[in-house]
Amino acid sequence: MILESIRRAGLGDVLDARLAGDLDTVRATVDTWKTKDLMALGALADLLRAKEIGSTVRVHVGAVVPASIAGKGLAFLREIAIARITAAPGAAVIVDGRTAGLELAQVALGFGGSELSLSLTNKRGLPIAEDALKKVKGQGMVPLVELQKREIERVLSGARRSPVFVVPEEMRNAHAQ
Amino acid sequence: MPTLSDIEAKVSRGERLVAEDALFLFNHPDLLAVGQLANRVREAKHGDRTYFNKNMRVEVTNVCVASCLFCSFAKLEEGSPGAHTMKLEEAWRELETRMDDPPSEIHIVNGLHPGLPFSYYEELIKGFKRIKPDIHMKCFTAVEIHFFAQHYKMTYEEVFEKLKAAGLDSLPGGGAEIFHPEVRSRISDDKATGTEWLQVHRVAHRMGLRTNATMLFGHIETFEHRVDHMQRLRDLQDETKGFQAFIPLAFHPDGNGMKNLPAPTAIDDLRTIAVSRLFLDNFDHVKAYWVSSTPDVAQIALRFGADDLDGTIVHETIYAAAGSTSPQGLSYGQLVRLIREAGRIPVERDTLYNVVKEHPRAASPEAAVKVKDRKAHLHVIGGAS
């Protein structure tokens, strides 16, 4: 059904070229297909993501990842999908969760996104202190950072994806000193 | 066990889905496939048209005898911290101050206040109608109507007769929560049961009132409970044809008795919208209530089966109390823009879905409007280029 819907949306040639590894054609024709039906574009992008990368999502916490894609709304999902389709097989398409928010980022991972860049913040968008603790019933005082990671895991598992948290180099160094 | 192809074939033939199909769709790993199917049904019913209205929420009292676990709005007693009950003049002023650009609908939902006379509610409606005689009064959930009947010792018919005489035009869909007693008895056991909620709407439909229906999802219920809920609504709709829209409402946990539960995610929102569009074949409209899902997710839902975004609302307080990060109102222009950016045609409607104004679609879909003209492949890292 998915393949049929991709072809019905006029994306059959893109699918074939992409699967054949003909990236030049895919990239050269982007203007002819980038405005096709968003759901079909997303389905094509997600199919490629699943085939090339699988269900693991690398989550970059704290560090700003320059190549991450930022945005809002449907245009953002389209941009993620286009990035996946035009990317080399297995390349990382990084969703900027800082701008999109975790909710929208979760959806974007279903449109071809493979990695997530996030800050750990409170509800007001302020950064969480590394030593901040919160009392959790039955668990005592738990680091807020840990609770946020659990929330990210929950949201990603709702998208049937498994997070791997990536600690940025500068943070690793800071902890080592 | 059905397959996605089986269900697609049913949808193509216009055949009704059964509960097992809906459960399968709730559990299917490919959200986009489910969304595409729902989008097909949505476009067959409405094309690109997407509805919204100029409405205004008024919550005149949050004093409530019910103690629903999911509610962050109600205060049990008058005089409790945060409890409020508007004087009638105060409520009417909400409209008077907006008469330069008035809404077409007032949507009133309240707590179940044990100390007000029934005449308060009659006068409330009459007063709004005096200010703007053609305003549509969409007032009181079935739970409130049931409470009125019990508290003031009337039948549902008598309550409706009096309220209609005062100017009631239709009923909102709130208070439905989850009908199944396994869930309802745990989250709200001291208000109208699911059967009573449905009976109120049955009576309303019989008396010529159109209504909506909601479902509060993402708390302790299972997918089976959601399907059961929609099945009961579909059955009643077969009988009365009185429902206009189905509105899935995402649970928000802040400040209520279920604050230990996480809120449902965007994917759950979109999937629930999609499955409801496919299962509720006799409902004309499925609404993405932007207050509960955020405007961003509601916009995406317009590609997952939803054809309505609700309205301007102006000042929502129930979800705001439960920690929603959505604004409390959206301007007319913001709603038009949200819809146009989704590649849809904004249609301002009245409460009964008569067209007030159809706006032109955007010159190009959202990609052409917003995706920057740059080489998308520059935004990826690595891979076997």
What is the DSSP track for B183-243?
HHHHH-TTS--HHHHHHHHHHHHHTT-EEEEEEEESSS--HHHHHHHHHHHHHHHHHH--E
Contact flag A82-B376 (C-beta cutoff 8 Å): yes
Contact flag A87-B383 (C-beta cutoff 8 Å): yes
Neighbours of B258 (CB within 10 A): 20
d(CA B377, CA A27): 8
pLDDT, greater one: B35 or B381:
B35
**Rounded to 5 degrees, what are φ and ψ at B311?**
-145, -160
**Which chain B residue has its CA at the smallest distance from A66's CA?**
B379
Contact flag B267-A110 (C-beta cutoff 8 Å): yes
For residues B59-87, average pLDDT: 85
pLDDT, greater one: A51 or B259:
A51
pLDDT, greater one: A101 or A122:
A101
Min Cα distance A175 → chain B (Å) is 27
Weakest mean pLDDT among B57-66, B226-235, B304-313, B365-374: B365-374
**Mean pLDDT of all residues in chain B?**
90
Weakest mean pLDDT among A136-140, B88-92, B94-98, B158-162: A136-140
Contact flag A67-B36 (C-beta cutoff 8 Å): no
Task: Kindly indicate the confidence band of residue B73, based on its pLDDT and cuts at 50, 70 and 90.
Answer: confident
pLDDT at B241 over 50: yes
Residue with tokens 């809920």: B229
* Residues B287, B216 contacting (CB under 8 angstroms): no
**B173: Cβ contacts below 8 Å, ≥ 6 apart:** B141, B211, B212, B213, B214, B243, B245, B246, B247
Supply the pLDDT for residue B385: 43
Task: Write the DSSP symbol of residue A10.
Answer: T
Residue with tokens 């005089």: B79
Strand A140-143 and strand A133-136: pairing? antiparallel
Nearest to A94 by CA among A103, A28, A79, A50: A79
Angle at A103 between CA A98 and CA A104, to 5 degrees: 70
* Alpha-carbon distances, residue A86 vs A18, A44, B32 (angstroms): 8, 11, 20
Task: Kindly indicate the confidence band of residue B85, based on its pLDDT and cuts at 50, 70 and 90.
Answer: very high
* Residues A76, A36 contacting (CB under 8 angstroms): no
Set of chain B residues whose Cβ sits within 8 Å of the Cβ of A75: 341, 366-367, 369-371
* Alpha-carbon distances, residue B106 vs A48, A63, B308, B311, B364 (angstroms): 48, 47, 17, 11, 34
For B303, which of A74, A88, A104 is closest by C-beta distance? A74
For B303, which of A38, A67, A71 is closest by C-beta distance? A38
* Residues B176, B214 contacting (CB under 8 angstroms): yes
Set of chain B residues whose Cβ sits within 8 Å of the Cβ of A79: 367, 371-372, 376, 379
pLDDT at B93 over 90: yes
SS percent in chain B: helix, strand, coil, step 5: 45, 15, 40
Set of chain B residues whose Cβ sits within 8 Å of the Cβ of A89: 383-384
A69 touches chain B (CB under 8 A): yes
Exposed / middle / buried, residue B371 (Cβ in 10 Å: 0-12, 13-18, 19+): buried
Strand ranges across the sheet with B308-311: B308-311, B49-53, B345-349, B355-358
Secondary structure string (H, E, C) spanning A21-59: CCHHHHHHCHHHHCCCCHHHHHHHHHHHHHHHCCCEEEE
Residue-wise pLDDT tens digits, B12-29: 999 999 999 999 999 998
Supply the pLDDT for residue B381: 62
Exposed / middle / buried, residue B134 (Cβ in 10 Å: 0-12, 13-18, 19+): exposed
CB burial string B199-221: b at 16+ within 10 A, e below: bbbbbbbeeebbbbbbbbbbbeb
The 3-state DSSP class for residue B342 equals coil
For residues B34-51, average pLDDT: 96
Residue-wise pLDDT tens digits, B263-283: 889 999 999 999 999 999 999
Supply the pLDDT for residue B316: 61
Contact flag A107-B266 (C-beta cutoff 8 Å): yes
A104 touches chain B (CB under 8 A): yes
Contact flag B380-A67 (C-beta cutoff 8 Å): yes
Min Cα distance A172 → chain B (Å) is 22
Contact flag A90-B384 (C-beta cutoff 8 Å): yes
Tokens of A65: 């990842």
pLDDT at B72 over 80: no
For A107, which of B30, B267, B375 is closest by C-beta distance? B267
List A residues 8-47 in contact with B (Cβ-Cβ < 8 A). Answer: 23, 27, 30, 34-35, 38-40, 42-43, 46
Contact flag A151-B262 (C-beta cutoff 8 Å): yes
Supply the pLDDT for residue B365: 55
Q: Provide the whole-model pTM.
A: 0.89
d(CA B29, CA B141): 35
For B5, which of A1, A75, A111 is closest by C-beta distance? A1
Supply the pLDDT for residue B378: 45
**For chain B, what is the total number of helices (H) and then of strands (E)?**
16, 12
Task: Write the DSSP symbol of residue B72.
Answer: S
d(CA A97, CA A104): 8
Contact flag A86-B377 (C-beta cutoff 8 Å): yes
Set of chain B residues whose Cβ sits within 8 Å of the Cβ of A103: 265-266, 294, 296-297
Supply the pLDDT for residue B260: 80
For residues B130-144, average pLDDT: 97
For B383, which of A39, A89, A106 is closest by C-beta distance? A89
Supply the pLDDT for residue A143: 84
Residue-wise pLDDT tens digits, A92-103: 999 999 888 888
**B108: Cβ contacts below 8 Å, ≥ 6 apart:** B57, B58, B59, B60, B124, B137, B138, B139, B140
Weakest mean pLDDT among B32-36, B65-69, B248-252, B371-375: B371-375
d(CA B133, CA A130): 59
Supply the pLDDT for residue B104: 95
Contact flag B35-A72 (C-beta cutoff 8 Å): no
pLDDT, greater one: B158 or B74:
B158
A171 touches chain B (CB under 8 A): no
d(CA B24, CA B1): 8
Neighbours of B195 (CB within 10 A): 12
CB burial string A79-93: b at 16+ within 10 A, e below: bbbbbbbbbeebbbb
For residues B64-74, average pLDDT: 82
Supply the pLDDT for residue B320: 62
Tokens of B175: 């208070």
**Which chain A residue has its CA at the smallest distance from B297's CA?**
A104
Contact flag A158-B368 (C-beta cutoff 8 Å): no
Q: Report chain B's C-alpha Rg in angstroms.
A: 21
Supply the pLDDT for residue B382: 61
d(CA B315, CA B13): 43
Supply the pLDDT for residue B374: 38
pLDDT at B368 over 50: no
Nearest to A52 by CA among A29, A31, A23: A23
Supply the pLDDT for residue B372: 41
Tell me the Ramachandran region of residue A116: left when phi exceeds 0, alpha when psi lies from -120 to 50, beta otherwise: beta
AA letter at B110: N
Set of chain B residues whose Cβ sits within 8 Å of the Cβ of A137: 260
pLDDT at B250 over 70: yes
Nearest to B300 by CA among A31, A154, A151, A106: A106
- What is the ipTM for the molecules in this complex? 0.85
Supply the pLDDT for residue B380: 57
**Which chain B residue has its CA at the smallest distance from A147's CA?**
B262
**Rounded to 5 degrees, what are φ and ψ at A127?**
-65, 145
